[in-house]
Amino acid sequence: MALSGIQTELKPEIKRVAEILDWTRLEKLRAPQSLSKALQHLGVLRLNLVRKELRTDGERQWIPIPIWLKETYPFVERLEKNEIGAEILSNAREGLIDETYRLQETVFKTNPLGLTEVAVPLVLRGDKIGFIAMDGFVLETESVGDVALEERFKVLMFSAEEKPKALEEYRSLPHFSPDKRVIVVQMLELMAREILQFFEESLSAKDREEQVHKQTFNQMATLHQPLRATLKKLPQLAAGDAPILIMGEPGTGRELLAKLIHESSLRSKGLLRALHCSTIAENLLEAELLGYEKGAFIGAYATKAGLFELCNGGSLFLNEIGDLSLSMQHKILRILQDKTFSRLGSSETLKFDVRIIASTQRNLKKLVQVGAFREELYFRLNVLEIEMPPLRQRKEDIPLLAEHFLKTFMTVMNKEGIQWKEESLLKLSHHSFPGNVRELRNEVERLVALKDSHSFIVVEDLSSKIVESLTPIEEIEKGMTLKNIVDGYEKQIVSEALAKYHWNKSRVAELFQITRQGLLKKIAKYHLDKRKKF
């Protein structure tokens, strides 16, 4: 299919859209591949994707690119080599293009030689970017005799040797009855919709990628203004040696923020180590922080340096500092005050120079008020305080982060071309994400692992908890009462806290800043039982 004689200048706004589209990935799309196989069963051998392209001579013209079906029809090939036949094909195709875009709908055009072409326009965001073209078929319902065909082809001046071959080649072209024609049109228009949807989603993905790039401060992408303000101050916060306390729920990026603070500080050449205070037994916690000598206790088979020693000149991140026991709080406070410590099993006093970055999901001020956290340690750690907002308070970041994680995991898993459907991102944005950014990251990792390259992430691919989740307003609209919703959330929070702290009721009551008796009432109210999982 040659369209070399048809040239047109692109408008500036069309150029911006048309030239950033990734045409090379189209051939890998699953839906058009399946549709092209169905067309092949109907006798179609060739499909062309026709798009505007800048040529080396500076002219812009329609360029046909065989795609999915790339075989040739011997009769059409013969016509293209014939000077008169090539001109007839070119004139018919020029008229086809003009009519397609004038009407902006599917158009059939039959040339004087009896061959029909069909074109389906591709219009993206108001711009005419190309069309799908299929040629080399016949729509005549009645068979045409050889004499009539010879008369029709007389203008081509075939030689005596060519005539029989030309007639045979013409007879082998696919013939479409009215019913078949309807099916073919439906397939081509569905193919066009898939292509346009692919491009639309691609442009949206590019927009999100640009947003990720523009809205990234110190490796964190966010549109949330309070968090952006905090990140802008990060170099200033990191410049000194003052301890920093990061407040926020698990999964909000507290450890990443601690890493960014360390890397932005003068201590960046030193080590940064993290210790999760809530996941380690108290005796082991002390050994991890201070280190120990060989034989200091059963299992101490060799001398080991502790984190205060290893991080000398660097930073130490103490995660969930609010979960430390009062005795361990006292030991850490003394060490921070004296700037000295001794390994377990040793009398040697060691000095250290470590910046402490602590984090907690608990309200330390209230814990101080109820005597569950040492006031001196609180003031020593809380010289600089940073609040990390939960993801439910920064919904505008969900599409941004989803796109970022998608690209990250495609690279890790050696996949390409996976794209979000807009409705999938919308559904993600409606989810409350109790696990915050970590939950979103895990969800995207799961999706990339399950999806094939060059496919779309649709709503049905999302986890059931996300697909089925409703906003509180939606729940109320469906008949739930405000009290039922609040009770449901409270039951979930209480049961999760009891499970996390192994049903230590005193610890959970302390966490919620309520009395033990108050917690027992809630356990009875919601019929909670440690033998059951929630």
What string of DSSP letters covers 42-96? Answer: TT--EEEEEEEEE-TTS-EEEEEEEEEEE---HHHHHHHHSHHHHHHHHHHHHHH
Counting as low any pLDDT under 70, the low residues of the chain are 1-20, 52-62, 140-143, 213-219, 469-480, 485, 530-534
Sketch out the chain's domains with CATH numbers: 12-198 (3.30.450), 225-389 (3.40.50.300), 392-469 (1.10.8.60), 476-525 (1.10.10)
Which stretches does DSSP call E strand in 157-256? Answer: 216-217, 220-221, 244-248
Residue 310 in contact with residue 271, Cβ under 8 Å? yes
- CB atoms closer than 10 angstroms to residue 137: 25
Query: Residue 446: how many CA atoms within 13 Å on its side-chain side?
Result: 10
Q: What pLDDT score does 531 carry?
A: 55
User: What letters, b where the CB count within 10 A reaches 16 and e where it falls short, cover 276-312?
Assistant: ebbeeeeeebbbbbbbbbeebeeebeeebebbbbbbb
Q: What is the pLDDT of residues 296-351, one digit of tens each?
A: 888 888 989 989 999 999 999 999 999 888 888 999 999 999 889 888 888 889 99
Q: What pLDDT score does 307 carry?
A: 92
Q: What pLDDT score does 152 carry?
A: 79
Which stretches does DSSP call E strand in 208-303? Answer: 216-217, 220-221, 244-248, 272-276, 291-292
Residue with tokens 């009539």: 148
Q: How far apart are CA 275 and CA 254, in angstroms?
A: 13
Bridge partners (DSSP) listed for residue 7: 61
The kind and range of the H/E element at 407 are helix 398-412
Q: What pLDDT score does 269 carry?
A: 92
